[in-house]
Chain A
Amino acid sequence: MKAPAEGTLRGIGTFLATFGLGVATYIAIADSGGGSPVCIAGGHGCQTVAESSYSHLAGVNIAIFGIAGYVVLLACALLRGDAFRLTAFVVSLIGFGYSLYLTYLELFTIDAICQWCVASAVLMTLLFVTNAVRMLAYVGTEP
């Protein structure tokens, strides 16, 4: 199967990373005031997850790490060349792996689902797929 043009993949990456950046920023802002994100569909899942100890890593809200990751992915989507293809692949793989773990925690440990976290996990999964295809199809070729 022929991979989509690299320009298309970069466009998709830009779109997904921008959305992810919005989601992570909302979670971080909601947490910074001592509150929690509001679940659009109702329920207390977002509050429960935000109040759990897993919402912070070494004292820092994990949404901050999310913001940093999405910024890097956005930059890599906008820029050409092997260095950015590789960086996007590695960073999105880290984001995807950690999102899987966080979703597992929500389902089986915290027993609550935060829609914003699920949205971020879905975006990170799509970014990983997009960047993996970009890397496999175009790494080593001219930018």
Chain B
Amino acid sequence: MSGRRDREARRDERLEEEQQAGAAERRQRMVKLASAGAFLALVVVAVLIVVSSGNSSGGDSSNIVEAKEVDELLAGIPQKGMVLGTPGAKVAVLEFGDLQCPVCKGYSEEVLPQVIENRVRSGEATLDFRNFTIIGPQSKPAGAAALAAGEQGRGWNFVELFYRNQGSEDSGYADDAFLTAIAKAAGVPDLAKWNQARESPAALSRVEATSAEAENLGFTGTPSFALEGPGANGTEAIGTPESVGALESAIENAGK
């Protein structure tokens, strides 16, 4: 009798051990599956982010971005017309740009913020945006819209915000809705007045006049720069300085 009980006990023990081993193996398998699932989930999130960020390729009037950054960049610096900086500064930096130009956008984001901070905010130089419309038919109305914003003291906000929201080159995005969205986000106080000014023949002829001025200075592309100051040779064309340092040293020389 006792031998039979022992055999049964040993069998129960073995069965329990087998069950435990089976459960552990099953759990290990499921944990591996969960790890693969987690990896898959992260891949799906990455794909969703890539697809979603493709939504914002610029030129979208319903999604104007970086208004706060532009406000911070220009806060406290006087603006009159398209001139940014303290009136009477030693050096005037003239930027000839086309709002639809992607190189200007790059320059505006990578070079100008430091120059504004180091040279314009300090009162050493002013920055004067002048239209040189070379990209396409929407460049002129866009330039006129910037001038109209300048009449209300928001010209540089308009230009900087336009660049930060620029769409694909000459793709037709710079329509009335886009320009209006930029003007609103740039803080143009009187939109009715702005609309009237941008559509006036005077604004368009000013755009044409500065484009002709750029050609007379020998410029063929945008952005192109010229300097005025005690050390400059009249309105001295300097082309497109390739770095913050190059533009700043040109400003220093023009101020001497």
Residues of A within 8 A of B48 (CB): 57, 94, 98, 101
Let me know if B42 is at the binding interface, CB within 8 A.
Answer: yes
Residues of B within 8 A of A90 (CB): 34, 37-38, 40-41
Residues of A within 8 A of B38 (CB): 89-90, 93
Chain A residue nearest to B24 in the complex (CB): A140
Residues of B within 8 A of A135 (CB): 34
Q: Hey, what's the 0/1 contact readout for B194-227 against A, CB within 8 Å counting as 1? A: 0000000000000000000000000000000000
A51 B63 Cβ-Cβ under 8 A: yes
Chain B residue nearest to A101 in the complex (CB): B49
Residues of A within 8 A of B56 (CB): 53-54, 109
CA distance A52 to B63 in the complex (A): 5
Number of residues of chain B lying within 8 A (CB) of chain A: 29
A54 B52 Cβ-Cβ under 8 A: yes
Let me know if A58 is at the binding interface, CB within 8 A.
Answer: yes
CA distance A86 to B32 in the complex (A): 11
Residues of A within 8 A of B45 (CB): 93-94, 97-98, 101
B68 A89 Cβ-Cβ under 8 A: no
Chain A residue nearest to B46 in the complex (CB): A97
A139 B49 Cβ-Cβ under 8 A: no
Query: Which A residues between 73 and 97 are near B, CB-CB below 8 angstroms?
Result: 82, 86, 89-91, 93-94, 97
Let me know if B9 is at the binding interface, CB within 8 A.
Answer: no
CA distance A80 to B233 in the complex (A): 83
CA distance A101 to B227 in the complex (A): 44
Q: Find A86's partner among B34, B55, B67 (CB 8 Å cutoff).
A: B34
A140 B67 Cβ-Cβ under 8 A: no
CA distance A53 to B63 in the complex (A): 6
B63 A110 Cβ-Cβ under 8 A: yes
A110 B65 Cβ-Cβ under 8 A: yes
Residues of B within 8 A of A111 (CB): 65, 67-68
Q: Find A97's partner among B26, B33, B42 (CB 8 Å cutoff).
A: B42
Query: Which B residues between 47 and 95 are near A, CB-CB below 8 angstroms?
Result: 48-49, 51-52, 55-56, 60, 62-63, 65, 67-68
Residues of A within 8 A of B62 (CB): 51-53
Chain B residue nearest to A109 in the complex (CB): B65
Residues of B within 8 A of A53 (CB): 55-56, 60, 62-63
Query: Which A residues between 100 and 143 are near B, CB-CB below 8 angstroms?
Result: 101, 109-111, 135, 139-141
A56 B30 Cβ-Cβ under 8 A: no
CA distance A91 to B26 in the complex (A): 22
B42 A93 Cβ-Cβ under 8 A: yes
CA distance A86 to B45 in the complex (A): 17
Let me know if B15 is at the binding interface, CB within 8 A.
Answer: no
Q: Hey, what's the 0/1 contact readout for B132-161 against A, CB within 8 Å counting as 1? A: 000000000000000000000000000000
Residues of A within 8 A of B31 (CB): 139-140
Let me know if B177 is at the binding interface, CB within 8 A.
Answer: no
Residues of A within 8 A of B60 (CB): 53
Q: Find B27's partner among A51, A86, A110, A141 (CB 8 Å cutoff).
A: A141
Residues of A within 8 A of B249 (CB): none
22 chain-A/chain-B pairs, Cβ below 8 angstroms: A53-B55, A53-B56, A53-B63, A54-B52, A54-B55, A54-B56, A56-B55, A57-B55, A58-B51, A82-B30, A89-B37, A90-B38, A90-B41, A93-B45, A97-B45, A98-B45, A101-B48, A101-B49, A109-B65, A140-B26, A140-B30, A140-B31
Residues of B within 8 A of A (CB): 23-24, 26-31, 33-34, 37-38, 40-42, 44-45, 48-49, 51-52, 55-56, 60, 62-63, 65, 67-68
